[in-house]
Structure 1
């Protein structure tokens, strides 16, 4: 994968518009044929939150939940240190960065 250049972004920017989506009579309607909705991240976040609640209710105090790259941490590592989550840079010359 590559970061698109400015011209490519400008060419497709018109496709990003919440106003091209309507909800009528329990139906989702798209104003344009090229409109798409991706709810994957919302679903993963919802599931991660439910998993965290379940783990907490069952006495778990330290965990990393990874749902296909969507990561949620519970507590600290068993040694008391914060979890470190690696972030991959989209730039080919940049190395991984760590985010506590």
Structure 2
């Protein structure tokens, strides 16, 4: 979704690199492009949030609480069949993401 819908070219490129498997998520987040974009976007969010009135903040908080309640009411689906991955370990931190093609 991010690779298709964001209007931030750097973020779109990073999302495509992760989806293609050229880089894992950790690598993408350590990329200087991501650092710059995420810092800019978090500053934009902070400014937006600071400028909200008390009523607007309360409305957004209530919407977020309702969304969380709705999301938590979904029951998890059945266990997928097929390949099962082993649990993550400390040694995995520098490994490429596993795929079905290996």
TM-score (norm 2): 0.31
TM-score (norm 1): 0.31
Q: Give the structure with the higher percent strand.
A: 1
Q: Give the structure with the higher percent helix.
A: 2
